Amino acid sequence: MDPLSPHDLADAAQLQRLLDEAARTARALAYALAHVQGLTDPTDVADYAREELAHRLRLDTPSRRPRARLAEADAVAGPDPRTAQEAVLALLRDVEGDLSIPQILNVLDDAGHALTANHVSVILTRLSQSGVIDRAGRGRYRAVSR
């Protein structure tokens, strides 16, 4: 790669944009997972997101909160008592930006909602038609700004 080549500079800028988008999406998903785990304290949510992202990126970071605490919270909380539609709406409201159907499916599956892509698509279509969420693009959705 020649850092002075216009073509290589354009490629590097494109890679940087892709990395920025992936980082925003990963951060939003980590925060959503923290809420699914039942964490509400902003410090706990930020610590959880930091630890999850570091783990996924294979970075060595000191843990600020023991992982056993999350396991205990899971045992007490049990499966998510919300309906699938309530869970989808809550997820989209908790996330900055928009999510794709596969991203929504992953988070909902972790929360104990075993749904198909078609079921989530129907829920998203209904929420979009009712004006509660916006379709951000093909297969991407976000909560309506309040």
Give 10-residue mean pLDDT values along the chain (146 residues).
65 83 86 82 81 77 45 47 83 89 88 85 90 89 84
Predicted confidence at residue 141, as pLDDT, reads 92
Predicted confidence at residue 48, as pLDDT, reads 79
* 81 three-state secondary structure: coil
| CA-atom Rg of the chain in angstroms | 18
1-15 core/surface letters (b: 16 or more CB in 10 A; e: else): eeeeeeeeeeeeeee
Predicted confidence at residue 138, as pLDDT, reads 87
Predicted confidence at residue 84, as pLDDT, reads 83
Predicted confidence at residue 5, as pLDDT, reads 63
pTM: 0.46
Integer Cα distance of 63 and 81 in angstroms: 30
